[in-house]
């Protein structure tokens, strides 16, 4: 049985380009270059039917190590908590006050990009601190 080597994480959203740009900033990802034969994405979009223009966007890890994120426009808005969410591993290897300070600094940076702070979960006997946030369209993710 073959082993899967890569995954893609897909987000349903109202404004794919806006959400893709947000996640590029969060993760240090980049938008891929426009398709061959087009100088810009806007040039490419103008060749598409009006209903398909801006209907999707992609951001990817420039090193190729991380998963590709795909954003697709859907007509309905978000109505419930995510069943799956992204953990942004900001505090890996850190503990206690140093970890919390690192998470809080990243939280402040992401709020400036349009994210929302939902809740800070402080360390207890079993778990280290993490911060629950929402992206620019309300999708939950954690700073971990």
Q: Using one digit for the tens of pLDDT, what is the confidence trace for 42-57?
A: 999 899 999 898 999 9
Q: CB–CB of 72/16 below 8 Å? A: yes
Q: CB–CB of 58/64 below 8 Å? A: no
CA 132/CA 144 separation, integer angstroms: 9
| pLDDT per residue as tens digits for the range 86-98 | 999 999 999 999 9
């Amino acid at each position: 049985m073959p082993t899967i080597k890569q995954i893609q994480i897909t987000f349903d959203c109202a404004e794919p380009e806006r959400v893709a740009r947000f996640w590029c900033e969060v993760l240090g990802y980049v938008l891929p270059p426009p398709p061959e034969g087009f100088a810009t994405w806007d040039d490419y979009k103008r060749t598409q039917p009006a209903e398909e223009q801006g209907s999707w966007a992609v951001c990817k890890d420039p090193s190729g190590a991380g998963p590709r994120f795909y954003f697709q426009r859907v007509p309905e808005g978000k109505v419930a908590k995510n069943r799956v969410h992204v953990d942004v591993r900001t505090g890996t290897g850190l503990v206690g006050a140093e970890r919390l300070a690192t998470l809080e600094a990243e939280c402040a940076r992401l709020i400036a990009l349009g994210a929302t702070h939902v809740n800070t979960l402080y360390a207890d006997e079993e778990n280290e601190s993490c911060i629950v946030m929402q992206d620019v369209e309300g999708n939950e993710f954690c700073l971990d």
